Chains A and B, each alone.
Chain A
Amino acid sequence: MRKLFTGLNRYAAALGLAAGIAATPAAAVELSFYYPVAVGGPITRIVDGMAADFERENPGIRIKPVYSGSYQDTIAKVLTAVKGGDAPHIAVLLSTDMYTLIDENAVVAYDDLVSTPAERQWLNSFYPGFMKNSQTGGKTWGIPFQRSTVVMYWNKELFREAGLDPERAPQTWAELVDYGQRLTRRDAAGNVTTWGVQVPSSGFPYWLFQTFTTQNGIELMNAAGTETYFDRPQVIEALQFWVDLSRRHGIHPPGVVEWGTTPKDFFERKAAIIYTTTGNLTNIRNNAGFEFGVAMLPAGAQRGTPTGGGNLHIFSRSSAAERAAALKFVQWLSAPERAAQWAIDTGYVAVSPAAWETERMKRYVADFPAPTVARDQLQYAVAELSTHDNQRVTKALNDGLQAALTGTKTPAQAMQDAQREAERILRRYR
């Protein structure tokens, strides 16, 4: 059998394809680092550059960055590798995959890796809003890396044309409806040419929906990730508000709104106000042919947004030396200077208060203050929906939301159905 395998190896090598089988020298620790790309720009080159910088400062550790597609592709790749006995050492995954990773015994808690007081201090150096999705059961499983929140972008020109103060965004739900009615424009035939407000609902509508529920004073799940509250009255009210934007007030496009093309609709002046991620800032800054503003989301009973984006995880299938090296790399990546540079390069929110105090960050926001909106909104931020068996529970909610938005179910019916499905899935984790 051995012979057959070496034969196959040789076959691959003979074709000139065996780049990956090269053996690692025993002295150096080699760490594989899987990361997704979710924003534009030469991200792979930036990550390769960071890995090279780290290697220069830390001889004896080699980082092998592996670009692994979208977040969905990355979790599929990571879980396959984990089950195939070939887990990466470090990976950037959605913070919401935390319970899934714990249930698979794939990751180690940072509390078990840190030893010195300085390292323990480091664990507490990030914004608490981002840690809500990174800790459970009293332990920290992820370190914030490329994190975001939902913010509102508005077209100042359209505000001016509608007789609104172009420097002031709507502050409350009532104002949002009022502004929306003034901003929505119709042509002679009655077809809408510009929608007042547009909240995307394809792909992951639950994330946008969490803005409304948080503003209505309720969270969608408990901190242990074993219970959901989809059928609570405040949740149904929040969904009713979203549905009414289109159905009752006529200021929002009907049906399911595509996430990927929402920025484009904004550029084309088809929507005057859009809700989308802070990760879009660089894109909108480069492509909007008009003055735009960035603001916190309008408040219902209170302000609110979920956080989003990816955390750094260290995997359990590794030697003590590898884990120590991995911890070093994660600390290096999340250090204030690097976090600031990463935020500037990508548009994500810098993850620690110290990062905002660095010279380069101060210089950056001095002539472009928009990124601070997301930072200031963090005090109202809650954890993104995340439970055990997260993919299936989230799908139950997404299906319910889209059914309500397209009008096939009433908000109450849709949320009751979603809750029943979530109950069924989560029962075995209690």
Chain B
Amino acid sequence: MSSLALAPAFDSRFDRILNTVAAWTLGLLWLLPLAYAAWTAFHPSEYSARFELFAPLTLDNFRTAWEAAPFPRYLLNTTLLVTTILAGQLLLCTLAAYAFARFSFPGRDIAFALVLVQLMIMPDVLIVENYRSIHRLGLVDTIGAIALPYMASAFGIFLLRQTFKTIPRELEDAARIEGCGVLGVLWRVYIPLARPTYLAYALVSVSHHWNNFLWPLVVTNTVDTRPLTVGLAVFAGTDQGIDWAVISAATLLSSAPLLIAFLLFQRQFVQGFLRAGIR
């Protein structure tokens, strides 16, 4: 009798333990490379592959990395780059998604299918063609040139269209009765209700373009336009082997702003996702 009564309680406790263990495992796996980077960055390079609790601490690696490339400038460029891209994407994707979700016009489905096709193409395949266009526009070696090919994001359009489609028509009708025009409805109804989606998309976009390397390298030539990733590549010169200590220091330097921003706004992010789930 008692065993029967205990079973569900035991089950749920077992479930909770399993969940906790899984969460911790995933968390530790995520933390491991970061912890290694922190360890190597703060110790002389003799200790990169050896763990001694009381190994001498040093900031020399950061100094070497800092002096090897103009990081403040790169940081500024990267920040400008991701904000430009995000601003462009939010504007274009919102308008396109609104059109695809709520208006019917001839050729809409074909146009939307073409947008979806864009999802299947690796951007790297288009580098030569993109370069040609950018060169013709006279924009080579500008931050605008790095940003332009990514602004009409198919993923963004798709994501927002799906979100807009889940919003009840009745809300739109109510807004119209109150006197909202076409853009008024978008601004007062759709955008506020899609906030969690915007937040999630912004997170993905910023972290992706923070890390993008090949296209920025190809289309820029000077320190004034290059992002952090291109600056980091100086340390990956493998003719003479890799100095993990300096690479780790440089990696920490360039990922720190993003990490800190995430830790600061973590609560907002999580709440944003939660709200998206509740509805």
Whether A19 and B241, one on each chain, are in contact in the complex, defined by CB atoms closer than 8 angstroms, is no
Q: Mark B40-53, 1 if CB is under 8 A from A, else 0.
A: 00000110111000
B132: nearest chain-A partner, CB-CB: A84
Q: In the complex, A221→B37 CA distance in Å?
A: 43
For A40, the chain B residues whose CB sits under 8 A away are: 237, 240, 243
Report the minimum CB–CB distance from B142 to chain A (whole Å): 5
Closest 8 CB pairs of A and B: A20-B141, A263-B241, A38-B239, A12-B144, A84-B131, A19-B224, A17-B143, A260-B242
User: How many B residues touch A, CB cutoff 8 Å?
Assistant: 45
Query: 8 A-B pairs, CB-CB below 8 angstroms?
Result: A9-B137, A15-B84, A18-B142, A19-B142, A38-B237, A66-B221, A66-B222, A259-B238
Whether B127 and A20, one on each chain, are in contact in the complex, defined by CB atoms closer than 8 angstroms, is no
Whether B143 and A69, one on each chain, are in contact in the complex, defined by CB atoms closer than 8 angstroms, is no
For A161, the chain B residues whose CB sits under 8 A away are: none
For A253, the chain B residues whose CB sits under 8 A away are: none
**With A42-B67, A84-B135: A203-B221 Cβ-Cβ less than 8 Å:** no
B233 within 8 A of A: yes
Residues facing A in B20-73 (CB within 8 A) are: 45-46, 48-50, 67-69
Q: Which of A171-179, A278-286, A371-379 contacts B (4 or more CB under 8 A)?
A: A278-286
A309: nearest chain-B partner, CB-CB: B239
Residues facing A in B137-160 (CB within 8 A) are: 137-145
Report the minimum CB–CB distance from B30 to chain A (whole Å): 24
For A18, the chain B residues whose CB sits under 8 A away are: 142, 144
Residues facing B in A125-142 (CB within 8 A) are: none
Interface residues on A, range: 35 or more
Q: In the complex, A98→B161 CA distance in Å?
A: 50
Whether B143 and A73, one on each chain, are in contact in the complex, defined by CB atoms closer than 8 angstroms, is no
Q: Which residues of B contact A (CB under 8 A)?
A: 45-46, 48-50, 67-69, 80, 84, 127-128, 131-132, 134-135, 137-145, 214, 217-218, 220-222, 224-225, 230, 233-234, 236-244
Among A80, A83, A262, A264: residue with most chain B CB under 10 A:
A80
Whether B238 and A38, one on each chain, are in contact in the complex, defined by CB atoms closer than 8 angstroms, is yes
Whether A283 and B241, one on each chain, are in contact in the complex, defined by CB atoms closer than 8 angstroms, is yes
For A19, the chain B residues whose CB sits under 8 A away are: 141-142, 222, 224-225
For B237, the chain A residues whose CB sits under 8 A away are: 36-40, 43, 70
For A68, the chain B residues whose CB sits under 8 A away are: 217
Whether B240 and A277, one on each chain, are in contact in the complex, defined by CB atoms closer than 8 angstroms, is yes
Whether B144 and A32, one on each chain, are in contact in the complex, defined by CB atoms closer than 8 angstroms, is no
For A21, the chain B residues whose CB sits under 8 A away are: 138-139, 141-142
- Grouping DSSP codes into helix (H, G, I), strand (E, B) and loop, the B interface class, with mixed when no group exceeds half, is helix
Q: In the complex, A70→B230 CA distance in Å?
A: 10
Q: In the complex, A85→B233 CA distance in Å?
A: 26
Q: In the complex, A259→B50 CA distance in Å?
A: 20
Whether A80 and B128, one on each chain, are in contact in the complex, defined by CB atoms closer than 8 angstroms, is yes
Whether B143 and A12, one on each chain, are in contact in the complex, defined by CB atoms closer than 8 angstroms, is yes
Q: In the complex, A148→B134 CA distance in Å?
A: 37
A88: nearest chain-B partner, CB-CB: B221
A86 within 8 A of B: yes
Whether A20 and B142, one on each chain, are in contact in the complex, defined by CB atoms closer than 8 angstroms, is yes
Q: In the complex, A42→B66 CA distance in Å?
A: 11
A28 within 8 A of B: no
For A191, the chain B residues whose CB sits under 8 A away are: none
Whether B217 and A83, one on each chain, are in contact in the complex, defined by CB atoms closer than 8 angstroms, is no
Residues facing B in A45-101 (CB within 8 A) are: 64, 66-70, 73, 76-77, 80-81, 83-86
A287 within 8 A of B: yes
A310: nearest chain-B partner, CB-CB: B239
For B69, the chain A residues whose CB sits under 8 A away are: 44
For B141, the chain A residues whose CB sits under 8 A away are: 19-21
For A267, the chain B residues whose CB sits under 8 A away are: 46
Whether B238 and A11, one on each chain, are in contact in the complex, defined by CB atoms closer than 8 angstroms, is no
**With A19-B225, A32-B221, A76-B218: A70-B233 Cβ-Cβ less than 8 Å:** yes
Q: In the complex, A40→B225 CA distance in Å?
A: 23
Q: In the complex, A203→B218 CA distance in Å?
A: 22
Report the minimum CB–CB distance from A165 to chain B (whole Å): 27
Q: Which single member of B48, B217, B221, B233 contacts A20 (CB below 8 Å)?
A: B221
